[in-house]
Amino acid sequence: MAVEAKETLKFRPVALPCGEKGGSRLYTTNLFRGKCPHACTYCYAAGFVNFSDGGPSPVSREAIDHVKKWPRRLFLSSASDPFHPVVVKLSEELLRAALAAGTFVVISTKALATHEVVKILSRYPGQVSYTVSLSSLSEERNRFLEPNAPNARERLRGRWDNNALVLCGIEQIVQSGVHITLKADSLFPDIDDTEEGMSQLLQEAKACGVQAVNFSYAFYRNTFKSRLAAIPLLQSSLAAMNESQPIASGTGFSLPISEKRNRLSHMARIASTIGYKVISTCACKNQAGKIPAEIPMGVECHFHDKWF
């Protein structure tokens, strides 16, 4: 009688400048396949084969239980949100096992954390790099571009119901002892990078305890330009994003590199004045080089684990 194969998680190397070689090599896993329920209009992962149709279809609990060896560094996640409600319970199980095994976990999310997630992470603050994507406080902007993601206030302060904290945001996670990097990504020119808008966002996040920020401009490929062009709010931004640039997985159109450098430098100065550690823009998506040397920086990419 044939023995049924056990489902287990697949860990894939992240082919990015931040973790290609040796002991710093970064691996990723996704806890669901299919379309991400956040439905962010600018999401490039929506074009990936396993994340473009149907779903979401989560892995099984057994897939986590059957992992025999956890990678040294693990990214959650490359094409899905590990704390979306459809998989957050699975993420709790993964974090318990991986952190106990000594894995350093890099988290990237727009979703809110459960109390249990925060409890688990608080036991291993030195093994966690936590980034929250938030580029604007504008409810109109976020409603068009990130229609199903938690709003800006919830990402900052958590979700409350009758004075009871239901789900945790940046403020509660920082209070638990876990460092958070604000991931101002994806930035649309003249919408998200205005001095007033960026200053307000950085001040709000700083009040919640954030110490580091990473800036990254949006890009588009022709395969998904049409869904961006359908949003009137983006017309001027798309007109400015007219330069083809190399990115980690090919090419994309974005703000011209010379202009991008100038704007990144300006935003970095704002952040530095407020008291942030400014982490360079991601080379994987924005080939703009480092933010100018006179701006205090930590490391070359927010995926690294030692800025704090």
CATH number, residue 136: 3.20.20.70
Q: Say if residue 56's pLDDT is above 60.
A: yes
pLDDT value for 53:
74
Indicate left, alpha or beta for 155 from its phi (over 0: left) and psi (-120 to 50: alpha).
alpha
Residue span of the structural domain in which 196 resides: 25-279
What residue type is 242 in one-letter code?
N
Q: Say if residue 21's pLDDT is above 70.
A: no
Q: Specify if 17 maps to a domain.
A: no
Q: What angle do CA 137, 283, 209 make, to 5 degrees?
A: 40
Split into its structural domains, the chain has a count of 1
Q: Specify if 297 maps to a domain.
A: no
pTM to 2 decimal places: 0.91
pLDDT value for 23:
62
Tell me 160's DSSP state.
E
Q: Say if residue 80's pLDDT is above 60.
A: yes
pLDDT value for 54:
76
Please report which confidence band the pLDDT of residue 174 belongs to, taking 50, 70 and 90 as the band edges: very high
Q: Specify if 306 maps to a domain.
A: no
pLDDT average, residue stretch 273-281: 86
Region of poorest pLDDT, from 1-15, 63-77, 182-196, 247-261: 1-15
Of 223, 239, 219, 189, the C-alpha closest to 284 is 219
Q: Say if residue 26's pLDDT is above 70.
A: yes
pLDDT value for 245:
85
Q: Specify if 16 maps to a domain.
A: no
Q: Specify if 20 maps to a domain.
A: no
Q: Specify if 268 maps to a domain.
A: yes
pLDDT average, residue stretch 175-180: 96
